[in-house]
Structure 1
């Protein structure tokens, strides 16, 4: 699944034209932010403040953007630290650049630094646990505007099958690797299909779907904001928890920091005790998340050809599938669930 898009070069005049109908103040500087691989982002510094100009890929519809922006508005109403979407003089939040055949938007720029992976520590994961719980509590029962395709179990199954077909076609270890991964996925998927006696149905709502360190803004040791909700969709809260847990506790491809994981989950379950009924599926949710991101990253240049066998998420899947690691994850989750609030 190719999600990569080239950066769109804009000069100062082009930026001024796109933002002419916004009350942003006098434009002082335009800085391209080239680290992204999907959207094109520019930091705009004006005499009224700092803003983010974002151009979305051509396939991103106005309906999908309304979904994202109504979600951000709901979170902003609850004082959740996320970007505010800026409307133009006519009250519109979604613009269309005919020259580039893609939609764009202007968002509030949250000051601070992107969280570095090596800066993740106990204090950071506890804040993430709190904020993640607050986000889900705010979005529970919320019905957004617009629509977005879902990216949960069935999507992951289809994406995973397509990716594993590519793995199976590789020379050497390709067929054996694909067969091993298919067996792991079949086991996890089956457990999702087997409801536990007395357990409620898995809760669905709007999920962030990409909460990892690059999407966290910090100042020193304090989390200032959660950004990049453009992958958000209506899906399983459990899968989103698994994604977040995985991304903040894997210190290496095959090494999970169980201490950090327990701290994050303790804070999460303390603020969302109603989610404890889904805790028995956290481990399988992490495996599901790995298959999803294996599919998402398979087209990165560093995984071309047989290099795909070295994908970080294949290593994570194999690691999580080890019986002793499953037991440790389940013990970590149980300790967090049983901890006093």
Structure 2
């Protein structure tokens, strides 16, 4: 007799989009839909209505619980999310989901969800893994001795590692200066390019509004852009070196749109500027792409079913 599959309804609230899917206990996405994220006041309503229409009655009935991944701080006691990506307020999504569907809900920070999902793939090879995402911002999560650090708040705020050397004053989204994210994230790269070129006296009238434009110019042979990306590589190397000093992972998994679109330009200088200081871990590009958080949230939820760390 074939064993009945176990499934969890999983939600990932990203910076731009919301993903809602049905994921099995092996991390396989059975079905998924992607939605444009609305204003904070409409997020809960959109998610609730989508769950009702996207899943069949049988799928809703058989789902063991609901897992939610979101940037920022999650509070399973109160069933709330708080993040700059969903506005200044607090979103009681866990509470709303529990009341609407009469199912337990587990909330997890999205970067930690991604770290846990990647760890679930490689747990037979290591108990120590770090996940890094370089996208609009820089974030990540760490599993040390088989345990996820800071399962609710993102205790491994790696994007806010200080990487300053030269006399730059680049403001991070958090309000402080010279964090890794301020220099090397998708949002930070064009701002840093402007300051870097100005300080070097080599602007040549060039200005960029997106990181991808800089990468494309470098790929086409732009010498100025190539020099700039070497500097980005130094900062990425400092960030990874700090992670090595803090956690000494055996495996580092890297994801995020900036990396996926520019693997060679990101990884080669990052590795070169890290191996000067530390023995390199195994470095892997996630195979889950943009679904890394939604898969990770499901795997974390499955592994924590017995502990019942649910939103109230």
If the length of structure 2 is used for normalisation, what is the TM-score? 0.28
Identify the structure with the greater helix proportion. Answer: 1
| Structure with the larger RCO, 1 or 2 (CA within 8 Å, 6+ apart) | 2
